[in-house]
Amino acid sequence: DAGITQSPRHKVTETGTPVTLRCHQTENHRYMYWYRQDPGHGLRLIHYSYGVKDTDKGEVSDGYSVSRSKTEDFLLTLESATSSQTSVYFCAISELYEQYFGPGTRLTVT
């Protein structure tokens, strides 16, 4: 998975609780992305980063925030989890065009 790890790999949480997912890369790539994958929707971009402390919104950013304090780490936070945020979350990295994905985190909000 191109030197990308995601943690945790699985998480079950309750509605209203905060959740933070971590993406770590060892490739020193400039760009990092968070996507969610839901049946019938493919993958949809939540937020992305184009450098340390430089982030921007994607297609489905409501209810999510991100932070990138180091090149290698990109955090996705759900401030108050809702059942609609039950999904599989993928981190990706890129330097130029090619984008490489991590193994994913399965999040269930009950």
Partner 1 sequence: GENVEQHPSTLSVQEGDSAVIKCTYSDSASNYFPWYKQELGKGPQLIIDIRSNVGEKKDQRIAVTLNKTAKHFSLHITETQPEDSAVYFCAASDNREYGNKLVFGAGTILRVKS
Contact footprint for partner 1 (CB under 8 A): 1, 4, 31, 33, 40-45, 48-50, 56, 58-59, 90, 94, 96-104
Q: Which is nearer to partner 1, 81 or 104 (CB)?
A: 104
| Nearest one of 64, 88, 78 to 6, comparing CA atoms | 88
Whole-number minimum distance, CB 78 to partner 1, in Å?
20
7 has which bridge partners? 22
Per the document, the length of the chain is 110
Q: What single-letter DSSP state applies at residue 9?
A: S
* CB-nearer residue toward partner 1: 40 or 53: 40
